[in-house]
Protein backbone atom coordinates (compact mmCIF):
# COMPACT_ATOMS: atom_id res chain seq x y z
CA UNK A 1 0.00 0.00 0.00
CA UNK A 2 1.23 3.49 -0.88
CA UNK A 3 -0.14 5.90 1.77
CA UNK A 4 0.73 9.03 -0.24
CA UNK A 5 -2.81 9.64 -1.52
CA UNK A 6 -4.44 9.13 1.87
CA UNK A 7 -1.85 11.31 3.59
CA UNK A 8 -2.40 14.10 1.06
CA UNK A 9 -6.19 13.97 1.42
CA UNK A 10 -5.97 13.90 5.23
CA UNK A 11 -3.52 16.83 5.29
CA UNK A 12 -5.72 18.87 2.92
CA UNK A 13 -8.89 18.17 4.93
CA UNK A 14 -7.09 18.84 8.21
CA UNK A 15 -5.80 22.22 7.04
CA UNK A 16 -9.30 23.28 6.01
CA UNK A 17 -10.72 22.08 9.34
CA UNK A 18 -8.01 23.84 11.35
CA UNK A 19 -8.60 27.06 9.42
CA UNK A 20 -12.31 26.92 10.26
CA UNK A 21 -11.61 26.27 13.96
CA UNK A 22 -8.99 29.02 14.19
CA UNK A 23 -11.37 31.53 12.66
CA UNK A 24 -14.55 30.68 14.54
CA UNK A 25 -13.83 28.10 17.21
CA UNK A 26 -14.99 24.50 17.45
CA UNK A 27 -18.65 25.43 17.17
CA UNK A 28 -17.99 26.96 13.75
CA UNK A 29 -17.42 23.49 12.27
CA UNK A 30 -21.12 22.65 12.69
CA UNK A 31 -22.05 25.67 10.59
CA UNK A 32 -20.12 24.16 7.68
CA UNK A 33 -22.12 20.93 7.75
CA UNK A 34 -25.21 21.10 5.57
CA UNK A 35 -26.86 17.82 4.53
CA UNK A 36 -28.91 19.23 1.59
CA UNK A 37 -25.72 20.77 0.17
CA UNK A 38 -23.90 17.44 0.45
CA UNK A 39 -26.80 15.69 -1.27
CA UNK A 40 -26.76 18.19 -4.16
CA UNK A 41 -23.00 18.01 -4.76
CA UNK A 42 -22.33 14.31 -4.14
CA UNK A 43 -25.63 13.07 -5.53
CA UNK A 44 -25.55 15.40 -8.50
CA UNK A 45 -21.97 14.49 -9.39
CA UNK A 46 -22.78 10.78 -9.14
CA UNK A 47 -25.94 11.19 -11.22
CA UNK A 48 -24.14 13.14 -13.96
CA UNK A 49 -21.34 10.56 -14.03
CA UNK A 50 -23.84 7.72 -14.44
CA UNK A 51 -25.55 9.64 -17.25
CA UNK A 52 -22.19 10.20 -18.97
CA UNK A 53 -20.78 6.66 -18.51
CA UNK A 54 -22.38 3.19 -18.33
CA UNK A 55 -22.88 1.96 -14.76
CA UNK A 56 -20.49 -1.04 -15.14
CA UNK A 57 -17.80 1.37 -16.35
CA UNK A 58 -18.35 3.61 -13.32
CA UNK A 59 -18.14 0.63 -10.97
CA UNK A 60 -14.96 -0.50 -12.71
CA UNK A 61 -13.53 2.99 -12.35
CA UNK A 62 -14.10 2.84 -8.59
CA UNK A 63 -11.99 -0.33 -8.46
CA UNK A 64 -9.28 1.33 -10.56
CA UNK A 65 -9.35 4.43 -8.35
CA UNK A 66 -8.85 2.23 -5.28
CA UNK A 67 -5.59 1.04 -6.83
CA UNK A 68 -4.23 4.58 -6.67
CA UNK A 69 -4.50 4.39 -2.87
CA UNK A 70 -4.03 0.74 -1.93
CA UNK A 71 -1.57 -0.59 -4.52
CA UNK A 72 2.15 0.05 -4.43
CA UNK A 73 4.45 -0.86 -7.31
CA UNK A 74 7.99 -1.96 -6.65
CA UNK A 75 11.05 -0.50 -8.39
CA UNK A 76 11.29 -1.25 -12.12
CA UNK A 77 14.91 -2.27 -11.58
CA UNK A 78 13.78 -5.17 -9.38
CA UNK A 79 11.54 -6.41 -12.21
CA UNK A 80 14.49 -6.36 -14.59
CA UNK A 81 16.69 -8.27 -12.14
CA UNK A 82 14.01 -10.92 -11.72
CA UNK A 83 13.65 -11.38 -15.48
CA UNK A 84 17.42 -11.64 -15.90
CA UNK A 85 17.42 -14.31 -13.18
CA UNK A 86 14.68 -16.15 -15.08
CA UNK A 87 16.87 -15.96 -18.16
CA UNK A 88 19.73 -17.59 -16.26
CA UNK A 89 17.43 -20.36 -15.04
CA UNK A 90 16.15 -21.04 -18.56
CA UNK A 91 19.69 -21.19 -19.94
CA UNK A 92 20.72 -23.58 -17.17
CA UNK A 93 17.64 -25.80 -16.88
CA UNK A 94 15.61 -25.04 -20.00
CA UNK A 95 12.24 -23.28 -20.18
CA UNK A 96 10.60 -25.98 -18.08
CA UNK A 97 12.91 -24.96 -15.25
CA UNK A 98 10.87 -21.76 -14.94
CA UNK A 99 7.80 -23.72 -13.88
CA UNK A 100 8.94 -23.80 -10.26
CA UNK A 101 9.39 -20.01 -10.32
CA UNK A 102 5.66 -19.44 -10.90
CA UNK A 103 4.85 -20.24 -7.26
CA UNK A 104 7.08 -17.38 -6.10
CA UNK A 105 5.33 -14.74 -8.26
CA UNK A 106 2.52 -12.50 -7.02
CA UNK A 107 1.98 -10.53 -10.23
CA UNK A 108 -0.80 -12.25 -12.29
CA UNK A 109 0.56 -10.74 -15.52
CA UNK A 110 4.04 -12.15 -14.89
CA UNK A 111 2.56 -15.52 -13.92
CA UNK A 112 0.67 -15.62 -17.20
CA UNK A 113 3.79 -14.58 -19.12
CA UNK A 114 5.96 -17.32 -17.58
CA UNK A 115 3.30 -19.98 -18.11
CA UNK A 116 2.99 -19.04 -21.78
CA UNK A 117 6.76 -19.27 -22.00
CA UNK A 118 6.84 -22.70 -20.34
CA UNK A 119 4.01 -23.92 -22.59
CA UNK A 120 6.21 -23.28 -25.62
CA UNK A 121 4.60 -20.14 -27.07
CA UNK A 122 6.72 -18.49 -29.76
CA UNK A 123 7.69 -14.81 -29.71
CA UNK A 124 4.82 -13.79 -32.01
CA UNK A 125 2.25 -15.50 -29.79
CA UNK A 126 3.77 -13.90 -26.70
CA UNK A 127 3.61 -10.43 -28.24
CA UNK A 128 0.06 -10.99 -29.46
CA UNK A 129 -1.40 -12.36 -26.21
CA UNK A 130 0.52 -10.18 -23.76
CA UNK A 131 0.23 -7.11 -25.99
CA UNK A 132 -3.55 -7.49 -25.97
CA UNK A 133 -3.47 -7.80 -22.17
CA UNK A 134 -1.44 -4.59 -21.90
CA UNK A 135 -3.90 -2.77 -24.17
CA UNK A 136 -6.79 -3.88 -21.94
CA UNK A 137 -5.01 -2.53 -18.87
CA UNK A 138 -4.34 0.76 -20.67
CA UNK A 139 -8.01 1.05 -21.66
CA UNK A 140 -9.20 0.42 -18.08
CA UNK A 141 -6.86 3.04 -16.70
CA UNK A 142 -7.78 5.57 -19.38
CA UNK A 143 -11.48 4.98 -18.69
CA UNK A 144 -10.93 5.36 -14.94
CA UNK A 145 -9.02 8.60 -15.36
CA UNK A 146 -11.70 9.93 -17.69
CA UNK A 147 -14.40 9.29 -15.10
CA UNK A 148 -12.41 10.95 -12.30
CA UNK A 149 -11.66 13.95 -14.51
CA UNK A 150 -15.34 14.23 -15.45
CA UNK A 151 -16.38 14.07 -11.79
CA UNK A 152 -13.80 16.73 -11.00
CA UNK A 153 -15.28 18.92 -13.71
CA UNK A 154 -18.96 18.62 -12.72
CA UNK A 155 -18.59 18.75 -8.90
CA UNK A 156 -18.00 22.55 -8.84
CA UNK A 157 -20.90 22.97 -11.28
CA UNK A 158 -23.26 21.18 -8.89
CA UNK A 159 -21.84 23.30 -6.10
CA UNK A 160 -22.91 26.34 -8.13
CA UNK A 161 -26.36 24.80 -8.69
CA UNK A 162 -26.72 24.43 -4.93
CA UNK A 163 -25.64 28.02 -4.48
CA UNK A 164 -28.25 29.22 -6.96
CA UNK A 165 -30.95 27.22 -5.15
CA UNK A 166 -29.82 28.75 -1.88
CA UNK A 167 -29.95 32.24 -3.36
CA UNK A 168 -33.47 31.64 -4.63
CA UNK A 169 -34.57 30.60 -1.14
CA UNK A 170 -32.77 33.60 0.32
CA UNK A 171 -34.49 36.01 -2.05
CA UNK A 172 -37.83 34.62 -0.96
CA UNK A 173 -37.07 35.89 2.55
CA UNK A 174 -35.93 39.41 1.71
CA UNK A 175 -38.71 40.73 3.89
CA UNK A 176 -36.89 39.19 6.89
CA UNK A 177 -33.33 40.66 7.01
CA UNK A 178 -32.35 38.31 9.84
CA UNK A 179 -32.47 35.33 7.48
CA UNK A 180 -30.41 36.83 4.66
CA UNK A 181 -26.99 36.25 6.21
CA UNK A 182 -27.71 32.65 7.12
CA UNK A 183 -29.22 31.97 3.73
CA UNK A 184 -26.17 33.36 1.93
CA UNK A 185 -23.84 31.24 4.12
CA UNK A 186 -25.72 28.02 3.30
CA UNK A 187 -25.75 28.92 -0.41
CA UNK A 188 -21.95 29.38 -0.49
CA UNK A 189 -21.26 26.17 1.45
CA UNK A 190 -22.50 24.14 -1.52
CA UNK A 191 -19.92 25.76 -3.79
CA UNK A 192 -17.29 25.06 -1.15
CA UNK A 193 -18.19 21.36 -1.14
CA UNK A 194 -17.95 21.15 -4.91
CA UNK A 195 -14.57 22.87 -5.07
CA UNK A 196 -13.11 20.68 -2.31
CA UNK A 197 -14.34 17.44 -3.88
CA UNK A 198 -12.99 18.48 -7.26
CA UNK A 199 -9.58 19.79 -6.23
CA UNK A 200 -8.79 17.54 -3.27
CA UNK A 201 -10.31 14.23 -4.39
CA UNK A 202 -11.27 13.74 -8.04
CA UNK A 203 -8.67 15.69 -10.03
CA UNK A 204 -5.66 14.69 -7.86
CA UNK A 205 -6.71 11.02 -7.92
CA UNK A 206 -7.10 11.21 -11.70
CA UNK A 207 -3.59 12.60 -12.03
CA UNK A 208 -2.21 10.00 -9.63
CA UNK A 209 -3.91 7.24 -11.60
CA UNK A 210 -2.24 8.50 -14.78
CA UNK A 211 1.18 8.46 -13.09
CA UNK A 212 0.75 4.98 -11.62
CA UNK A 213 -0.70 3.72 -14.90
CA UNK A 214 2.42 4.82 -16.78
CA UNK A 215 4.58 2.98 -14.26
CA UNK A 216 2.49 -0.19 -14.40
CA UNK A 217 2.36 -0.23 -18.19
CA UNK A 218 6.13 0.27 -18.33
CA UNK A 219 6.53 -2.72 -16.01
CA UNK A 220 4.28 -4.82 -18.25
CA UNK A 221 6.20 -3.78 -21.38
CA UNK A 222 9.45 -4.80 -19.69
CA UNK A 223 7.97 -8.19 -18.78
CA UNK A 224 6.83 -8.67 -22.37
CA UNK A 225 10.25 -7.88 -23.79
CA UNK A 226 11.90 -9.98 -21.10
CA UNK A 227 9.93 -13.15 -21.80
CA UNK A 228 10.38 -12.69 -25.55
CA UNK A 229 14.13 -12.38 -25.02
CA UNK A 230 14.12 -15.52 -22.88
CA UNK A 231 12.07 -17.37 -25.51
CA UNK A 232 14.63 -16.45 -28.15
CA UNK A 233 17.41 -17.85 -25.99
CA UNK A 234 19.28 -14.57 -25.51
CA UNK A 235 22.15 -14.52 -23.04
CA UNK A 236 21.34 -12.96 -19.66
CA UNK A 237 23.60 -9.99 -20.42
CA UNK A 238 21.78 -9.34 -23.69
CA UNK A 239 18.40 -9.61 -21.96
CA UNK A 240 19.53 -7.17 -19.28
CA UNK A 241 20.78 -4.66 -21.85
CA UNK A 242 17.48 -4.87 -23.73
CA UNK A 243 15.45 -4.24 -20.60
CA UNK A 244 17.68 -1.45 -19.28
CA UNK A 245 16.85 0.46 -22.45
CA UNK A 246 13.42 1.12 -20.88
CA UNK A 247 15.04 2.99 -17.97
CA UNK A 248 16.18 6.57 -17.74
CA UNK A 249 19.92 6.81 -18.56
CA UNK A 250 20.86 7.66 -14.97
CA UNK A 251 18.83 4.72 -13.62
CA UNK A 252 20.36 2.34 -16.17
CA UNK A 253 23.85 3.54 -15.24
CA UNK A 254 23.12 3.16 -11.53
CA UNK A 255 21.88 -0.39 -12.10
CA UNK A 256 25.02 -1.26 -14.06
CA UNK A 257 27.20 0.06 -11.24
CA UNK A 258 25.28 -1.99 -8.68
CA UNK A 259 25.72 -5.12 -10.80
CA UNK A 260 29.49 -4.53 -10.94
CA UNK A 261 29.65 -4.29 -7.14
CA UNK A 262 27.78 -7.57 -6.84
pLDDT tens per residue across span 99-152? 888 878 888 899 999 999 888 888 899 999 999 999 999 998 898 899 999 999
Give the C-alpha separation, 83 to 239, whole Å.
8
Residue 99 lies in a domain: no
Render pLDDT for 72-107 as a digit per residue (tens, 0 to 9). 777 888 888 899 999 988 888 888 888 888 878 888
Per the structure, the complete domain to which residue 50 belongs is given by 34-77+123-261
Is residue 1 over pLDDT 60? no
Residue 150 lies in a domain: yes
Residue 251 lies in a domain: yes
- Mean pLDDT on 238-259: 81
Average pLDDT across the chain, whole number: 86
Residue 105 lies in a domain: no
Residue 6 lies in a domain: no
Is residue 164 over pLDDT 70? yes
Give the C-alpha separation, 95 to 233, whole Å.
9
pLDDT given at position 184: 76
Q: How many structural domains compose the chain?
A: 1
Contact of 202 with 149, CB cutoff 8 Å: yes
User: By C-alpha distance, which of 176, 181, 222 is closest to 78?
Assistant: 222
Amino acid sequence: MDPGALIGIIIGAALILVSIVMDGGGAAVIAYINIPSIMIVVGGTLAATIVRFPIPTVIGAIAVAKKTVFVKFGPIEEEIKRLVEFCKVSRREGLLGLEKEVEKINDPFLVKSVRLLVDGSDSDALRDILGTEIDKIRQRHTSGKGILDFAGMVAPAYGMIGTLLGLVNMLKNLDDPSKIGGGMAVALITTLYGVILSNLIFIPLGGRLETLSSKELLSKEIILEGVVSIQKGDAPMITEDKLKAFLQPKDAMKMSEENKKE
